Amino acid sequence: AGAAWGQRTGAERAAVLHRAGLALAANRDRLIEVMAAETGKTIAEGDPEVSEAIDFAHYYAERARDLDAVQGAIFVPARLTVVTPPWNFPVAISAGGVLAALAAGSGVIVKPAKLAQRSGAVMVEALWEAGVPRDLLVLVDLADRELGTRLISHPAVDRVILTGAYETAQLFRSFREDLPLLAETSGKNAIIVTPSADLDLAAADVIKSAFGHAGQKCSAASLVILVGSVARSERFLSQLTDAATSLRVGRPADPVTQMGPLIEPAEGKLLHALTTLGVGERWLVEPEQLDESGALWSPGIRTGVLPGSYFHLTEFFGPVLGVMHARNLAEAIRFQNAVDYGLTSGLHSLDPAELAEWLETIEAGNLYVNRGITGAIVQRQPFGGWKRSAVGPGTKAGGPNYLYGFGSWVSDPGRNSSTLHLRGLDQSVTDLIEAAQTVLDYADFDVLRRSALSDALAWRDEFGAVKDASDLGLERNLFRYRPLPVTVRLCEDGTLSDLLRVIAAATVSTARFEVSSAIPVPPMVRNVLAEREITVTVENDAEWLERAAAGGIRTSRVRLIGGDRLHGAQAAASSLARALGGSPDVAVYAHPVTQAGRVELLPFLREQAISITAHRFGNPSTLSEGII
């Protein structure tokens, strides 16, 4: 079923997904009810979750059309995708993974979390009602872990979509080291509050971000970092105390409940966080167990959290907030960046200079300014993190590139040009092409030139621009790309022309990169790279894998070049995965090299969504103008 579905056009798949969005809307009441009964979601949390699922359906429907319109490359859908959603967003995240895979042309097996099986089942039933074939979308309930392991590791599975802990990503890779895994994983998120902030607004946003859905969100605020005089403000600490203690905690059946129960009784590290203080810490608001089940707790706030402490660095996933103190904004940013994760981050400040410093240095995928840090909306704030908050390509759910990860690409060769001009290219790319001219035949030179022109267009229209797709005015929702270091590896079965094409894309991206090549790089090209302080290492495949196994890869992404025109360097990717022990910390791109800048620049860039409140009490604010 997956193969036949993948042969449909993007427009044909889009029509089915739009019907799926209507079916989800028609089942809103059932979905809210089952989430409340099964996972303890309040109506206020469940209703926007259904809206998010609906948004995913319509948004991915339109992105399905985009896959057919990429010039220079042809999209090849994965035949089978397994979606393993979490229990904390059992409808929206489950629907998002399923709908993205369907939009991309893949067959889907969805295995809802054990604690939210009914919620997942009602969502899938709505999609079946919309006309999604049952043999294309299969719902499974696996009786034991052994069956789950066999499903995840089965060689017929082309992609696995995971939302869960980083440790779960490690577990999945232990089943199959070369598993193509797209995962949104853990978060340890902070809101920084500076002396220039509106403290009333900051207190409200911190409490909402920390205790919505009892803190059981990967985007939730686990830390608030108070800068300078804010740390000494008794008024601000009193506001946090009053806001937390006034929350109505109860079961979702009571419509006045603001914070519901935990999904199951607190245990392990969460129970430790709710009951045990670290060195130098004290309770500002001590959490209390409110019933015999062990699942209903009042919110807790601890102060005196020290840099490098257990609470500072550990994700707990529950209703407990830590307060840290920083002497200045730079120190606060260091505290936030010190964690292994980079999912969401917030800043409360009315100082443009502070905003500029924070935007330039904070390491997180979703940034929020003078607002809460949860509740990302499809397209408006595409969602996904940096560092150990993401595994795989790192493209954001609800964003323009998410479907790209649900398949591979092959080159669309196009036609040779009648001219060989290099007009419109950056001088750094022109220098590279001219240095390579003497070692390429006419056809390869023309492909390199046309590819570079495609890169330039992609940079101008997409990757080099900061965009606001929603254009709300009073809230700026910006989407941008940031370069990151990459290792480019030419395998023994790769070609010099493909290596040069990838280096051209890397050059346009402005990312730092290093080159490992199985064949010598021409002296003139090597001289150009040396002038830019780009390292070139010549080593055969065995030496490359030996270096990788010894920890010699210093970047979090690798672009492999080699193999054939249909499968690319997939065999080399499997060998590299084994050498790395299946580590989720290195994302490997192994698709065939294409002429499409829209495809080839992505390995060198990571996405960042920035949401800025652009008003003060309804009056437009110029805080961020001229900064971004």
| Phi-psi label, residue 208: left if phi above 0, alpha if psi -120 to 50, beta otherwise | alpha
Number of domains forming the structure of the chain: 3
Quick one: which H or E segment has residue 152?
Answer: helix 145-153
| Phi-psi label, residue 114: left if phi above 0, alpha if psi -120 to 50, beta otherwise | alpha
Both 355 and 250 in a single domain?
yes
Both 316 and 447 in a single domain?
no
Both 164 and 283 in a single domain?
no
**Domain-ending residue, one of 352, 385, 418:** 385
Q: What is the mean pLDDT of the segment spanning 61-76?
A: 96
**CATH assignment of the domain containing 8:** 3.40.605.10
Both 181 and 193 in a single domain?
no
Single pTM value for the model:
0.95
Both 335 and 395 in a single domain?
no
Cα–Cα distances in Å, from 280 out to 277, 324, 332, 335? 8, 11, 18, 17
Domain annotation covers residue 600: yes
> pLDDT for 369-406, tens place per residue?
999 999 999 999 999 999 999 999 989 999 999 999 99
Q: What is the mean pLDDT of the segment spanning 449-473?
A: 95
For the chain, what is the mean pLDDT? Answer: 96
Instruction: Report the percent of the chain where pLDDT is more than 70.
Output: 99
> pLDDT for 167-211, tens place per residue?
999 999 999 999 999 999 999 999 999 999 999 999 999 999 999
Domain annotation covers residue 210: yes
> pLDDT for 249-268, tens place per residue?
999 999 999 999 999 999 99
Range of the domain at 515: 426-461+482-605
Both 198 and 181 in a single domain?
no
Cα distance between residue 139 and residue 120, in whole Å: 9
Cα–Cα distances in Å, from 402 out to 96, 99, 382, 619? 10, 11, 9, 35
Both 101 and 13 in a single domain?
yes
Cα–Cα distances in Å, from 329 out to 192, 229, 234, 246, 451? 8, 12, 20, 30, 43
> pLDDT for 200-210, tens place per residue?
999 999 999 99
What b/e string do you get for 5-37 counting C-beta neighbours within 10 Å, with b at 16 or more?
A: bbeeebeebbebbbbbbebbbebbeebbbbbbe
Domain annotation covers residue 99: yes
CB 280 within 8 A of CB 308: no
Helix, strand, coil shares of the chain, percent, nearest 5, are 40, 20, 40
Both 219 and 97 in a single domain?
no
- pLDDT grade, residue 2 (50/70/90)? confident
Domain annotation covers residue 127: yes
- Write a three-state SS string for 332-398: HHHHHHCCCEECEEEEECCCHHHHHHHHHHCCCCEEEECCCCCCCCCCCCCECCEECCEECCCCCEC
Cα–Cα distances in Å, from 117 out to 28, 343, 530? 17, 26, 56
Domain annotation covers residue 420: no
- pLDDT grade, residue 414 (50/70/90)? confident
Cα distance between residue 184 and residue 53, in whole Å: 17
Cα distance between residue 390 and residue 585, in whole Å: 9
Q: What is the pLDDT of residue 419?
A: 67
DSSP characters for 404-422?
A: GGGEEEEE------S----
- Write a three-state SS string for 84-139: ECCCCCCCHHHHHHHHHHHHHCCEEEECCCHHHHHHHHHHHHHHHHCCCCCCCEEE
Domain annotation covers residue 468: no
Cα distance between residue 507 and residue 604, in whole Å: 9
Beta bridge partner(s), residue 537? 516
Q: What is the pLDDT of residue 56?
A: 98
Q: What is the pLDDT of residue 418?
A: 64
**CATH assignment of the domain containing 296:** 3.40.309.10
Both 589 and 444 in a single domain?
yes
Both 318 and 436 in a single domain?
no
Domain annotation covers residue 621: no
138: how many CB neighbours lie within 10 A of its CB?
Answer: 16
Both 134 and 75 in a single domain?
yes
Q: What is the mean pLDDT of the segment spanning 611-623?
A: 95
Both 344 and 437 in a single domain?
no
Cα distance between residue 164 and residue 86, in whole Å: 6
Residue among 45, 184, 357, 363 flagged as catalytic = 184
Burial class of residue 537 (count of CB atoms within 10 Å of its CB; 0-12, 13-18, 19+)? middle
Cα distance between residue 87 and residue 94, in whole Å: 9
437 token code pair: 């001219």
Check whether 93 has a pLDDT greater than 70: yes
**CATH assignment of the domain containing 545:** 3.40.50
> pLDDT for 504-560, tens place per residue?
999 999 999 999 999 999 999 999 999 999 999 999 999 999 999 999 999 999 999
Cα distance between residue 625 and residue 369, in whole Å: 13
Burial class of residue 483 (count of CB atoms within 10 Å of its CB; 0-12, 13-18, 19+)? middle
- pLDDT grade, residue 356 (50/70/90)? very high
Quick one: which H or E segment has residue 43?
Answer: helix 43-67
Q: What is the mean pLDDT of the segment spanning 565-590?
A: 96
Identify the CA nearest to 95 among candidates 141, 66, 130, 145. Answer: 130
* Annotated catalytic residue 184: yes
Provide the sign of the torsion angle of the four alpha carbons 380, 208, 121, 385, taken in this order: positive
Q: What is the mean pLDDT of the segment spanning 126-132?
A: 97
Q: What is the pLDDT of residue 278?
A: 96
Domain annotation covers residue 60: yes
